[in-house]
Structure 1
Amino acid sequence: MKHVIVAHVDRSGNAQEVLRWAEREASLHGLQLRVVGDSPLEPPDGMKLLVVGTPGTNVGDFPCPVVFVPTVPCPESPFAEVTLGVNAREPAEAAVDFAFDTARARCVRLRAVHAWRFPSCAAELPFGVPEDDRGAWEDHEVQLLADVLRPWREKYPQVPVLEDVRLLPPAQALLQRSASAGLVVVGRRPGGAPGAVTQVLLRESLRPVAVVPA
């Protein structure tokens, strides 16, 4: 079965941006591009990637990665990095692999963003969190992220990786880091709609967002 990239264009106002993004991705991966305007969208056989507008078609349960292109995107540098949102405790492996493969195809850096928060016991400390405790907790988060990424660093040795551990809510961490990104990548649990973090990104990100199902 021949894989294709599908661009879903409609009258939402950013059809040209959707088509431009899909054309570039098809060229980078050496895949055929198919342009459709069906509503509701029926996935063709062999669809490897779907590119839609934001807000776009209801694609909550599609079996392939979906890239949402914002209505008013920021100008993108050809060397813009790929930003991956990864939960180091429950990594979405398909999203991690997609992000590494995209960075490889574009010859750019991958920034892996892992957001964390203080453990619940921190709220019981009478004088705030001591620096030694904060440092130890952060070192642990850094090690968790490094362990998660190690197999993909070995699989994609040509991809430079920046491990970015942030003491912030996940959506805020990703929005801050998306400013320098060409694409933001997040995972999606199987059989479900995008989660709360993804919904925030789709509303507020000025960069394309790839949602990758498990």
Structure 2
Amino acid sequence: MEPVVVLARTDTSETGRAAADWARREAGLRGSPLRAPLRLPLRGPGDVAEGVAVTVGETRAVTLLDTVPGPVVLVPDGYVPGRRRADVVVGVDPCAPAGPALGFAFDSARLRGARLRAVHAWALPPEAAALPFGVPEEDRARWEDHEVQTLSDALRPWRAKHPEVPVLEDVLLLTPAEALLHHGARAALIVVGGPPGSVVRTLLRESGCPVAVVPADGG
């Protein structure tokens, strides 16, 4: 059975109703029971063991991330689902791919019949700063080609495991948060690995679509 979906906080506000609707749809997609409402503070990790916790508010999301063992989904203020929100977007560090986050992202795309956009943010190597006349285009292209190949290699076993999920690989010369937010307007869901560092907090604060944070040992 798929993990239970837990509505960790709800109210009568527009955002609270959007979170409740999102949790109901997610439970329906997964064929899972929906538990609601569960008010914060939580009594302990057992409250949402084996579950996907859905909440509103950056502070509440961070509290859940520090408390529960499974994925936490934040539904942001003003979120409105729509047909343009077609992709599931996942952040990938190809040098240390987060297996639980990738597994959750592939599964979320499969359940929605959606495309998975795998985003890798990269930076120019340190030696680029020492070049007196900027970075030659051929060097930039060579470095970018290497990043593209590294991402492709990291995703290969996941694509083989989930051949039914169409995957678009995207390598961007941006910070990780900027790269993911770049695709937020078309995203039904952004998936990122935890724990909650600066990238996660930026996404929770600035994303216009739901953000799923999956702990390294959960999902």
1:48 aligned residue: 51
**How far 1:59 moved relative to its partner?**
1.1
Could you tell me how far apart the structure 1 residues matched to 2:175 and 2:77 are?
Answer: 25
TM-score, scaled to structure 1: 0.92
Deviations 1:161-190 (A, max 9, x none): 00000001111111111111000000014x
Q: Which residue of 2 aligns with 1:38?
A: 39
| Map of 1:170 onto structure 2 | 176
Match of 1:128 among 131, 134, 139: 134
User: Any idea what the Cα deviations from partners look like across 1:128-185, whole Å, max 9, x if unmatched?
Assistant: 1111111110000001100111111011100000000000111111111111100000
Q: Percent identity?
A: 51
Q: Is contact 1:79-1:108 (8 Å) kept?
A: no
Which is strand-richer, 1 or 2? 1
1:155 lines up with 2:161 in the alignment = yes
CA RMSD of superposed structures (Å): 1.8
The 2-side partners of 1:107 and 1:79 are apart by 12
Alignment gaps of 5+ in structure 2: none
Q: Which deviates more, 5-14 or 112-121?
A: 5-14
Q: Post-superposition shift, 1:78?
A: 7.5
Paired residues for 1:72-151 under 5 Å: 72-77=78-83, 80-151=86-157
- Check if 1:202 corresponds to 2:207: no
Q: TM-score, normalised by structure 2?
A: 0.90
User: Does the C-alpha gap of structure 1 residues 136 and 86 become closer, same or farther in structure 2, counting only changes over 3 Å?
Assistant: same
Give the secondary structure class of the aligned counterpart of 2:189.
Answer: strand
Q: Aligned pairs, how many?
A: 210
Aligned to 2:4: 4
**Larger deviation: 23-32 or 41-50?**
41-50
One-letter code of the match for 2:6? Answer: V
Determine the structure 2 residue equivalent to 1:60.
65
**Residues 55 and 79 of structure 1: CA distance in aligned 2, closer, same or farther (over 3 Å):** closer
**Quick one: structure 1 residues 137 and 124, their matched pair in 2 at CA, closer, same or farther if it must change by over 3 Å?**
same
Shift >3 Å, 4+ stretches? none
Unaligned runs of 5+ in 1: none
Deviations, residues 114-137 of structure 1 (Å, cap 9, x unaligned): 000100000111111111111110
* Rounded Cα–Cα distance in structure 2 between residues aligned with 1:127 and 1:16: 54
